[in-house]
């Protein structure tokens, strides 16, 4: 289970224009025997909107699955900050399978770095039926609409 949502701007004040569009993303994840949460600036406003668009494209069968679900460690959808990424693994007649990449502060506490201090790769595969994905996209877009672009370029 992976639940993410935008909850605030990283800098609620509009003083520093360079970082006005960073969003705090709150997440709750359960994978295997581990369960954890995170709350970090992981997406910019444009990234959050683009995620909704990408998920809608997956739903409409406009995104190709990766070969055998292999990503070589890189998600198909990612943002400037690599904490959260997504890949499209498979489609059946009733569901889609997404791979959610969780890195750095978004990863499980036990996997945030290895013994050499490198950030370990971690992902969760989610199977969703079309109605659940449609609902998730709708909720994501409604939540993102609460955070307009404060410094359009």
For the stretch 19-30, pLDDT in tens is 889 999 999 999
- The phi and psi torsions of 30 (rounded to 5 degrees) equal -130, 120
Q: Is residue 14 part of a domain?
A: yes
Q: Is residue 10 part of a domain?
A: yes
For residues 44 and 117, which has the higher predicted lDDT (pLDDT)?
44
How confident is the model over 34-44, as pLDDT tens digits? 999 999 999 99
For residues 17 and 72, which has the higher predicted lDDT (pLDDT)?
17
Domain total of the chain? 1
- What is the pTM for the complete model shown? 0.88
Q: Is residue 152 part of a domain?
A: no
Task: Compute the average pLDDT of residues 9-33.
Answer: 86
Whole domain around residue 97: which residue ranges?
2-145
- Percent above pLDDT 90 for the chain: 59
Beta bridge partners of 77: 86
Q: How many CB atoms lie within 10 A of CB 35?
A: 11
Distance CA 46, CA 49 (A): 5
**Residue 51, token pair as written in the block:** 């995620």
CB-based contact 48:6 (threshold 8 Å): yes
Q: Is residue 72 part of a domain?
A: yes
For residues 11 and 134, which has the higher predicted lDDT (pLDDT)?
134
Distance CA 75, CA 100 (A): 8
Q: Is residue 151 part of a domain?
A: no
């Amino acid at each position: 289970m992976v639940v993410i949502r935008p909850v605030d701007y990283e800098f609620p004040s509009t003083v520093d224009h360079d970082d006005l569009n960073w969003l705090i993303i709150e997440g709750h994840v359960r994978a295997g025997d581990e369960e954890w949460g995170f709350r970090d600036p992981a997406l910019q406003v444009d990234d959050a909107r683009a995620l909704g668009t990408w998920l809608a494209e997956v739903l409409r069968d406009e995104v190709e699955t990766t070969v055998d679900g292999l990503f070589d460690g890189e998600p198909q959808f990612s943002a400037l900050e690599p904490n959260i990424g997504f890949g499209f693994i498979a489609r059946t007649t009733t569901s889609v399978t997404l791979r959610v990449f969780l890195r750095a502060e978004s990863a499980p506490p036990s996997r945030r770095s290895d013994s050499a201090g490198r950030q370990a790769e971690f992902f969760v595969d989610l199977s969703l039926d079309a109605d659940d994905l449609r609902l998730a996209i709708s909720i994501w877009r409604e939540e993102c609409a609460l955070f307009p672009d404060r410094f359009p370029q």
